Amino acid sequence: KEISKLKTQSRKTKDLIELTRKNINNTSSLIKAYDKKINIYNKQLINLENAINRNNETIVEIKKSYEKRSISLYKNRNNDLSNYIFNSDSFSQMIYRLKYFNIISDINKKSVDKIKTTQSFNKQKTNEIVGLLNMVKDSKNDKKSQVSNLNKNKKYQEKLLKKLKNEENEVKAEIATQLKQI
């Protein structure tokens, strides 16, 4: 009875060890999947950084053209903008000058708006990618700690199995000794 009880416990322990091995394999697969996700997010981050650099170059170009327009406007004015407009040779020239300044003003406003929009987009996307990257890294670290715990559990179960087999062998030896005595 004692031997069959030990064999049953051994079988259960073997089943537990097998289940733990499967858990370790599944968790290791999850860790590999997290590594792939991290690689994808890193590539997205690199692409985003490249887009941000291109956007920053665009911003610099917009600023330069804004600066050129502002300097040109400043240099070409005759003491005062209103004098420049109202000292026109004809009424049509005055209207053209007004339209020109309105167009320049609209272009400048659109340029500033585009700069703000681009900068906010860059910041938002960077934060999104970094957040996803951190989330995946945290999940990966959790899975690594799970694997560590599963490995400890597996070692404990293997020690228990070894102990049960030794105990079973001792009981068999004791039975054999008693049978000899009988």
Please write the tens of the pLDDT for every residue from 106-160: 887 887 788 788 778 878 877 887 887 788 788 778 888 887 888 888 888 888 8
Instruction: Record the tokens describing residue 182, joined without a space.
Output: 């009988």
pLDDT exceeds cutoff 70 at 102: yes
Q: Which of 137, 138, 134 is nearest to 126 (CA)?
A: 134
pLDDT-based confidence at residue 163 (cuts at 50, 70, 90): confident
Q: Which of 35, 26, 55, 76 is nearest to 120 (CA)?
A: 55
Q: Which of 74, 77, 78 is nearest to 66 (CA)?
A: 74
Residue 78 φ/ψ, nearest 5 degrees: -100, 90
pTM: 0.54
